[in-house]
Amino acid sequence: MRTKYLLTIFSIVLFAAVSFTSQTNPLVGKWENSGVFKGDPYKFLAIFRANGSFDGFMNNKEFVSGTYHMNHDTLYMSDPTCNAKYEGKYKVEFFGQLDSLKFHVIQDTCKGRVEGTNGFLFKRVRQAVKK
């Protein structure tokens, strides 16, 4: 009887641990940042896919493509603009109900990537519901 009881408790704890650690990647989706640079308005759209690839579009034109992976709240990303084999490391800070985020550089020698991501607020792009 005691074995069944311990097995039941172990199963419940294991199920709870797995359900909390196997959540989907909250970065997957479309994220947009807009602002003004040198007097001109811009919109930057980043698309992060579940397969570990991402694309970035500046004013609807393809700007950058690369790969990424997440480890808890840390993003590792690389793209060929600096060196496809070098990964920049960023802390990802989510806000609200995972509807906005900021990237905070931890380590990245790619100046352009740091200047385009560090500290900027990105909002999740919601798909319109078709009726």
CA 14 to chain centre: 27
Residue 1 lies in a domain: no
Q: Does residue 37 register a pLDDT over 50?
A: yes
Residue 130 lies in a domain: no
Residue 16 lies in a domain: no
Residue 14 lies in a domain: no
Task: Output the domain CATH number for residue 41.
Answer: 2.40.128.490
Q: Which amino acid is at 41?
A: P
Q: How far is CA 81 from CA 3, 12, 23, 98, in A?
A: 58, 47, 31, 28
Structural domain that includes position 35: 25-124
- CA dist 54 and 29 (Å) reads 10
Residue 15 lies in a domain: no
pLDDT in tens, 48-61: 999 999 999 999 99
If pLDDT is split at 50, 70 and 90, which confidence band does 128 have? low
**Does pTM surpass 0.75?**
yes
Look at the chain and report how many structural domains it folds into: 1
